[in-house]
Chains A and B, each alone.
Chain A
Amino acid sequence: MTKLSQEALLTDDGIRSDGRKVDEARPFEVEVGVLTQADGSALVRQGKNVILAGVIGPYEAERHSQFLDRGVLKVRYHMQPYSTNERKSPTYSRREIELSRAIREALEPAVILTDLPRTQIDVFVEVLQADGGTRCASVNAASVALADAGVPMKDLVTAVAIGKVRDTLVVDINDLEDENGQADFPLAMMPNKGLITLLQMNGLLDEEEIKRSVEMAKRVISSLYQVQVDALKKKYTPLALSKEGDKDA
């Protein structure tokens, strides 16, 4: 596949291939508790990404894999065969194993595993539709699903990928920009703590660009975080408030 020209990804007026501005994130939606059998679940749409995260646990881990002082977090990231442009083999690929680990390591600092010795928590992330930045969208889905499962956490985790096209930094890159751009810089944070839990880089950014990327990511993350919080609260608060209204009427 020949690469798209950088001019195709960003016009002279600063408009990107999907009509966004350089600092504009894609539409982000979170739905909590979409599954009834899972202990916790979330469905996230980030641009054209559609990602479902389900949590099982905490449950008592098998004896050979348990730790006496902490719980174990396991993450499985998997893409559906129909999630991409070309059919993806349903078998578990090298890339999926790697991303599962990246997502797990992004979530681990937030989960208070020392409160859950000898247990295991499984997070299953299914990519139903992929449009670039799936690892970030998966982190966003998984952290909400963990909270929904009642797992003790220090903070939620929110992630976004910054990219570089036509020598310009752009936020929340889509598939086209990921494939054809000059850099991909996914970053996950615990927003209330200001701590970075995932930081990867594909392509080239200089020191100045990295600093600016982190600042851009922080801004986007705080707005994505608000969506996650609202989704979690929306699931339970309206009930309490509407009934309150009934009674006064």
Chain B
Amino acid sequence: MSEGKIERIREVAVPGERLGSLREGAAEGTYKEDDGVYSSLLGVVERESERGIRVRALRGKYIPRVGDFVVGKVVEVGLMDWSVDINSPYLARLDSREAGIEVDPITVDLRHYFDVGDYIGAKVTTFDRVTPPSLTTRERGLGKIRGGIPISIIPSRVPRIIGKKGSMISMLDKMLKTRLIVGQNGYVIIQGGKPEDVTFTISILRKIEEEAYTYGLTDRIKDILTKRYGDKND
């Protein structure tokens, strides 16, 4: 099995639960106090020797991280920038220069580029919690997403849709008749395919979301996909 390295039984922690001693190290979702490492979230515990103990939230909003690819929805167009909903407590800001447009606000209306309601693929460039997270679309593959159906996934379960070293997403890309654009923030755009392919894709994504913390998920999803579309794509 591809995931043999992970410990067999996933451990769920609640806030305040002691997870280990200080020398084991504290990563995301934990805090240190006096004698040990405690969970600060309701989530799944992961123990990695190099990074320390970490708790991955079971639910909750997306907290931006620099470098993340996110799918955002434009909610406001300003004179020089856009406000973008990235499924986080904070609205993100996309500056017009970061979209590769040198604008003179008197002559150029930013609505021509991205309008309210448009979905964009972007990267998080800065985030310090005090100022809004900022985005850029000045890279290959970033920018406006044309067409497709948006759905929203619990952000902490996105890693499962991508899988270890992209194993799940590459399988989905190969076997589904739709194309997926997956943002780290939990917004997913489903493009192409017949309506029934789209509904099937949604059901698969929902299943991955719901069973994100189970073992052998990639194999089970593969079975379902093979049953539906046959083995010919392999």
- Residues of A at the B interface (CB closer than 8 Å) are 39-40, 57-60, 68, 110, 112, 115-119, 147-156, 190-193, 228-229, 232-233, 236-237, 239-241, 243-244, 247
Identify which of residues 77-123 in chain B touch chain A, using a CB-to-CB cut-off of 8 Å: 89-91
The chain A residue with its CB closest to the CB of B130 is: A68
**Does B61 lie at the interface of the complex (its beta carbon under 8 Å from any beta carbon of A)?**
yes
User: With the chains together, A249 CA to B99 CA distance in Å?
Assistant: 53
Q: List 25 A-B contacts (CB under 8 A).
A: A57-B89, A68-B130, A116-B89, A118-B89, A118-B129, A148-B59, A150-B43, A150-B57, A150-B60, A150-B156, A152-B40, A153-B41, A154-B38, A155-B38, A156-B15, A228-B14, A229-B14, A229-B17, A236-B12, A236-B44, A239-B213, A240-B9, A243-B211, A244-B9, A247-B215
B42 A193 Cβ-Cβ under 8 A? no
User: With the chains together, A231 CA to B11 CA distance in Å?
Assistant: 15
A150 B18 Cβ-Cβ under 8 A? no
Chain B 141-173 interface mask (CB, 8 Å, partner A; 1/0): 000000000000000100000000000000000
Within the complex, the shortest CB–CB distance from A42 to chain B, in Å, comes to 11
Q: Which residues of A contact B216 (CB under 8 A)?
A: 243, 247
User: With the chains together, A191 CA to B16 CA distance in Å?
Assistant: 9
**Does B31 lie at the interface of the complex (its beta carbon under 8 Å from any beta carbon of A)?**
yes
A sample of 18 more A-B contacts (CB under 8 A), given A147-B41, A152-B41, A247-B216, is A59-B89, A117-B129, A117-B130, A118-B129, A119-B90, A149-B59, A149-B60, A150-B57, A156-B16, A192-B18, A236-B58, A237-B12, A240-B12, A240-B213, A240-B215, A241-B9, A243-B211, A244-B214
* Contact partner, B12, options A39, A154, A233, Cβ 8 Å: A233
Within the complex, the shortest CB–CB distance from A68 to chain B, in Å, comes to 6
- Residues of B at the A interface (CB closer than 8 Å) are 8-10, 12, 14-18, 29, 31, 38, 40-44, 57-61, 89-91, 129-130, 156, 210-211, 213-216
Q: Which residues of A contact B44 (CB under 8 A)?
A: 236
Within the complex, the shortest CB–CB distance from A154 to chain B, in Å, comes to 6
A155 B10 Cβ-Cβ under 8 A? no
Within the complex, the shortest CB–CB distance from A115 to chain B, in Å, comes to 8
| Main DSSP-derived SS at the B contact region | loop
Within the complex, the shortest CB–CB distance from A37 to chain B, in Å, comes to 13
Q: Which residues of A contact B211 (CB under 8 A)?
A: 239, 243
Q: Which residues of B contact A116 (CB under 8 A)?
A: 89, 129
Within the complex, the shortest CB–CB distance from B39 to chain A, in Å, comes to 9
Within the complex, the shortest CB–CB distance from B34 to chain A, in Å, comes to 10
With known contacts A156-B16, A229-B14, A150–B38 Cβ distance under 8 A: no
The chain B residue with its CB closest to the CB of A114 is: B129
| Main DSSP-derived SS at the A contact region | mixed
With known contacts A147-B42, A152-B40, A154-B15, A118–B214 Cβ distance under 8 A: no
Within the complex, the shortest CB–CB distance from A108 to chain B, in Å, comes to 14
Within the complex, the shortest CB–CB distance from A110 to chain B, in Å, comes to 8
With known contacts A58-B61, A117-B130, A154-B31, A240–B89 Cβ distance under 8 A: no
A155 B58 Cβ-Cβ under 8 A? no
Q: Which residues of B contact A147 (CB under 8 A)?
A: 14-15, 41-42
A150 B42 Cβ-Cβ under 8 A? yes
With known contacts A119-B89, A147-B42, A244-B9, A153–B15 Cβ distance under 8 A: yes
B41 A60 Cβ-Cβ under 8 A? no
Nearest 3 interchain pairs by C-beta: A150-B60, A155-B16, A153-B15
* Contact partner, A150, options B8, B31, B58, B210, Cβ 8 Å: B58
The chain B residue with its CB closest to the CB of A61 is: B89
User: With the chains together, A238 CA to B17 CA distance in Å?
Assistant: 19
B31 A40 Cβ-Cβ under 8 A? no
Within the complex, the shortest CB–CB distance from B27 to chain A, in Å, comes to 14
Within the complex, the shortest CB–CB distance from B209 to chain A, in Å, comes to 12
The chain B residue with its CB closest to the CB of A191 is: B16
The chain B residue with its CB closest to the CB of A150 is: B60
B130 A150 Cβ-Cβ under 8 A? no
